[in-house]
Amino acid sequence: MPSGSPRHDAPLESAPSPPPRSTSASPSPQESLTLRALVSTKDAGVIIGKGGKNVADLREQTGVKAGVSKVVPGIHERVLTVTGDVESVAKAYGLIISQLIEAGPSSPTTAVPSSHTSLRLLVSHNLMGTIIGRNGLKIKAIQDGSGARMVASKEMLPQSTERIVEVQGTADAIARAIEEIGKCLLEDWERGLGTVLFHPGVGEDRSPGSRRTSTNFPPGGYGGGRRSNGADALKPGSPPPSPPQISGSPTPAANLRTQNISIPSDMVGCIIGRSGTKITEIRRLSGSKISIAKAPHDETGERMFTIVGTPEANEKALFLLYNQLESEKERRVGREAVVQQE
């Protein structure tokens, strides 16, 4: 999917700004990988260390670029970003996890027994199929080879097209799993282009009563896995965002961005809706102009959607389009299940 203009992370504390985009790497001779994870504010403090000592030591030991996003008032989660070659990124995360375990059992990411913990990776929705693999063979191989377990959220995080993949196990097992996950992401990096990055505190409800659905990947693999095309059998994501506040003055042309995404032809109707009602609503809520190609653009049978608007408006449009795809896929899966029962 061609690249858009997602927002960058907030400036990093005690670290240089990481490359933008998603968990996938940008094309480069070094095949550099950028892998993001969600950590608690307390764990972020441990990772950074007094005066930035810990994160500086981490860079020196592994050669990676690493940092943590700035604190958002009232939000108790921050984004850890690590960039480097696959082996170095895996080693860095292994050292970070060991550090968190040593910091004490009171750390929110540390479970019992103390030698086991978990890491919440941020992975592009479009790259989930790459990690799962055909008939779940890739996820099974990663779990069997590393000794770690993996749990994936079924919905995308608010105002983004990223999902959480929680990797559970010892520090060494998680590091081994991350190395294999990183290889998968690099092999299929194009699918991560245009990912709308998650920013803690943006349009989310993380109250104790809020529900978060996840999928446990069994040791034997995930039978429903396949290459993702943006229309996997997922539960609908978070509620659509509130309509953007559109001022009376026109948006300067310099602020407009163009985003192109491919949608399976059999899903186009569900996005347009009866008499165009659904696409009209998405345009209204996002503030972006959305045009749809009349014919498939290649042998895949997918049709191109072109989104034009400000970066913020385009993010809302993408979020709403993906939610509509998820809802329709879930409806079709449910309908097929009813037919099979009959």
CATH of the domain at 278: 3.30.1370.10
Least confident of 2-6, 28-32, 214-218, 324-328: 2-6
Q: Judge if 180 and 40 occupy the same domain.
A: yes
In a domain, 127, yes or no: yes
Torsion angles phi and psi, residue 66, rounded to 5: -145, 150
In a domain, 239, yes or no: no
pLDDT at residue number 339: 76
Q: Judge if 163 and 275 occupy the same domain.
A: no
Higher pLDDT, 284 or 249: 284
Supply the pTM of this predicted model.
Answer: 0.57
The residue among 148, 89, 88 whose CA lies nearest residue 116 is 148
Domain range for 303 is 257-340
Q: Judge if 83 and 179 occupy the same domain.
A: yes
Task: Provide the pLDDT confidence category of residue 177 given band limits of 50, 70 and 90.
Answer: very high
In a domain, 228, yes or no: no
Q: Judge if 187 and 68 occupy the same domain.
A: yes
- Edge-to-edge strands, sheet with 12-13: 12-13, 65-69, 77-84, 33-40, 116-124, 162-170, 149-153, 214-216
The three-point CA angle 218-219-222 to 5° equals 45
Q: Which of 192, 216, 232 is the last residue in one of the domains?
A: 192
Both tokens of 56, joined, read: 């500086």
Q: Check pLDDT > 60 for residue 6.
A: no
155-172 pLDDT per residue, tens: 888 878 888 999 999 999
For the chain, what is the domain count?
Answer: 2
- How deeply is 311 buried, as exposed, middle or buried, from its count of CB atoms within 10 A (0-12, 13-18, 19+)? middle
Q: Judge if 174 and 79 occupy the same domain.
A: yes
42-91 pLDDT per residue, tens: 999 999 999 999 999 999 999 999 999 988 888 899 999 999 999 999 99
Both tokens of 75, joined, read: 């939000």
Q: How far apart are CA 75 and CA 49, in angstroms?
A: 20
97-117 pLDDT per residue, tens: 999 988 875 444 434 445 788
pLDDT at residue number 246: 32
Task: Provide the pLDDT confidence category of residue 1 given band limits of 50, 70 and 90.
Answer: very low
Mark out the alpha helices in 9-126 (DSSP H runs).
41-48, 53-62, 86-102
Q: What is the mean pLDDT of residues 169-191?
A: 91
pLDDT at residue number 149: 93
